[in-house]
Structure 1
């Protein structure tokens, strides 16, 4: 966390948010003292740790003496795979925090037709069959380029790029100055970064692109996805991204960037929280991902810290009540927003100057956002899409061409689109 001397007040105006990322317990197991145990399977990040979630629910637990909340971290590949394992073992949690998608909707209980649900970010956009299945805490921006200001100065890059041609030219200057121009990596980040850069360039003209792809009326090969993949392929060939990216872990990406080895890093607004702890003297800036025509892109976004209740829960009423607390209690919401630097109209918190700059980018985009990645709702991608794209983009580092990746993604989507 940053010190008070480095914090400034972040407050969003009335922006219009719109949008289209195994335990042995048995479900409903209660504590020995007779209280009800609510199990939460949560998404773990460098910022959203198990202890963070324990602290987050502490106020609720204090006001509900008969309720215990157990925080569970994913095992294996992530939260979705862990949930599938738990479902197969007959031991699913009561609440899922993150990882929601249409394939899992059948395991969720619909949330009530209540104002606190309607007020949660992306509630309307995530409707499926006319019902809301998850409630988010805030809005998470995911189309940002963080950059090392000193590196830009030393490389003679005097302004932040607005087009991909300008961005590529800047990356070449940064390489010439001795920096890794763009920090990419392996694990989940390869495909995620590609989506963060491509989605605003696709959905700025086709905001319902996912829904149209589900119907087969648009394709990767015929869209700006393919155009972006061509650019990405040129970066790989020209050494503007690390050749060993597939072997670089997410935390190592952050470490390389804050150590001054890398000049830029594409990531969501949560990276600002990690950069706040960088060594003294490291000064990062931020700008929107470039567009092909230089226009201001909509900010790709997702609901931050979304929660769903499993229909198999034996404590449905208590689980829904806890979700209500997490997405509507002012202290809980503010704590969730400030942890990753997320946003929600009507809420303010103290944040770093970098997070303030991100808020200004959202204002500059007129509050316009587009959905990125999977989720719930008619304009969602099929379950497994991020993993497949991640695999395909990683294969480009091994020589697979951009057009083959686009073709493979079209083939995969056609086979996995909801019927």
Structure 2
């Protein structure tokens, strides 16, 4: 199915005469107008109408540009972009695609310092000092969203502040017949199973060694070292205690979110984009939010800043493509729409979110702002971009391996050794 989609898109591009190999980098049409392809992805929060409206707003600010929207067949837009690139048809503009691999191969246009002046963290995600993806948005990954009714039923009076308190709360929930954690990752959505591990890597590894992946690249640390193995062991232990139900791994991302809404589990470790979904479509219970707790209760706030648009170095007019990308990511109404639909925390100077945002979003932003206040911000494992990130493709392999960790097919030590082996293969 995915192969047929790629061939169809490739055929369309060939007819339009816009294949990557068919044009010079700066060739606007004779009438001063240009058509640019824009790769997006759709989720329950970001549907077709959302993208169409956002595209129209940006296009109104950049005369001469017509956007041809392309939609990834699933949420793995990076994988789809690789397929298109392999067929010689990398889109002109791409949304939230990991630049790793593309940038090093010279396939992306870098943004200048002058073009990045409106961004709070202009060098976020830089590769060899150059920024290829606009750092327009911050996400907290994960936040533990929880069912307040389930906590009350289990006699849990307050949210866990330490990891032991998280285990104690899980035991109380389990004793009441409530599955503590809702975790999914079926089909093409294996990435969705990563977030408990992202939490434990933040508290057990990155809080001690913020540049751990940079050190991994330099050969100074390994996944099999005690700290990372301990983080993985916590996830295996949650499953062994039946706090994570392995059967849930067959659920897609959308089905996993629905399972939490259907009260099939009390806690949902997910990225902060879930917040506005929770506010916009409220379940029958009240939802709260708290950060993944560390052993001693010290704050750790794993985040990712980036995720914006990228521009192909082979776009028919790179200058106009970059101008349009900046218009798309800096537009106030677009950012308001991302906030309302996807729980974004825009990293744009002077931006203020709409005043009518709901309680789950506000609780999520409070977690981020507290992290900024107490300087507890660290990277979110598997979400990193730029220097100090996983080699291309390794995040996907890690997500698949997390399933083995949860089902007991791999021990924490075997999981860590697998990641070291895959790192070696990816960097040969």
Normalising by the residue count of structure 1, what TM-score does the alignment of the two structures yield? 0.87
Whole-angstrom distance in 2 between the partners of 1:326 and 1:364: 29
User: Secondary structure in 1 aligned to 2:72?
Assistant: coil
Contact 1:137 1:337 survives alignment (8 Å)? no
Structure 1: segments with no counterpart, 5+ residues:
1-21
User: Secondary structure in 2 aligned to 1:182?
Assistant: coil
Match of 1:110 in 2: 110
Match of 1:329 in 2: 331
Match of 1:7 in 2: none
Q: Note if 1:234 corresponds to 2:240.
A: no
- For 1:48-197, what aligned pairs fall within 5 Å after superposition? 48-75=46-73, 78-105=76-103, 106=105, 107-114=107-114, 116-186=115-185, 187-197=190-200
Per-residue CA distance 1:125-162 (angstroms, 9 max, x = gap): 32222221111222111121011001011101112112
Q: 1:371 aligns with which of 379, 390, 395?
A: 379
Whole-angstrom distance in 1 between the partners of 2:232 and 2:299: 20
Deviation at 1:63, TM superposition (A): 4.2
Contact 1:286 1:358 survives alignment (8 Å)? yes
Distance 1:242 1:280, change over 3 A: closer
**Which deviates the most, 90-99 or 34-43?**
34-43
Per-residue CA distance 1:268-309 (angstroms, 9 max, x = gap): 111112212445542000000011221111x21223541110
Contact 1:146 1:267 survives alignment (8 Å)? yes
Deviation at 1:311, TM superposition (A): 0.7
Match of 1:9 in 2: none
Q: Note if 1:385 corresponds to 2:383.
A: no
Structure 2: segments with no counterpart, 5+ residues:
1-5, 20-27
Whole-angstrom distance in 1 between the partners of 2:307 and 2:74: 20
User: Secondary structure in 2 aligned to 1:119?
Assistant: coil
Match of 1:316 in 2: 318
Contact 2:288 2:360 survives alignment (8 Å)? yes
User: Secondary structure in 2 aligned to 1:40?
Assistant: strand
Contact 1:95 1:309 survives alignment (8 Å)? yes
Match of 1:346 in 2: 350
Whole-angstrom distance in 1 between the partners of 2:112 and 2:122: 12
**Which deviates the most, 155-164 or 366-375?**
366-375
Whole-angstrom distance in 2 between the partners of 1:252 and 1:180: 16
Whole-angstrom distance in 1 between the partners of 2:113 and 2:18: 25
Whole-angstrom distance in 2 between the partners of 1:211 and 1:67: 39
Over the aligned positions, Cα root-mean-square deviation in angstroms equals 2.4
Whole-angstrom distance in 1 between the partners of 2:182 and 2:295: 21
User: Secondary structure in 2 aligned to 1:70?
Assistant: strand
Deviation at 1:77, TM superposition (A): 7.4
Distance 1:44 1:366, change over 3 A: same
Distance 1:40 1:323, change over 3 A: same
Distance 1:252 1:393, change over 3 A: same
Q: Note if 1:395 corresponds to 2:401.
A: no
Contact 1:102 1:375 survives alignment (8 Å)? no
Whole-angstrom distance in 1 between the partners of 2:281 and 2:408: 32
Whole-angstrom distance in 1 between the partners of 2:212 and 2:229: 14
Match of 1:412 in 2: 422
Whole-angstrom distance in 2 between the partners of 1:308 and 1:223: 37
User: Secondary structure in 1 aligned to 2:102?
Assistant: helix
Match of 1:198 in 2: 201
Distance 1:334 1:101, change over 3 A: same
Normalising by the residue count of structure 2, what TM-score does the alignment of the two structures yield? 0.86
Contact 1:214 1:414 survives alignment (8 Å)? no
Distance 1:101 1:272, change over 3 A: same
Distance 1:278 1:293, change over 3 A: same
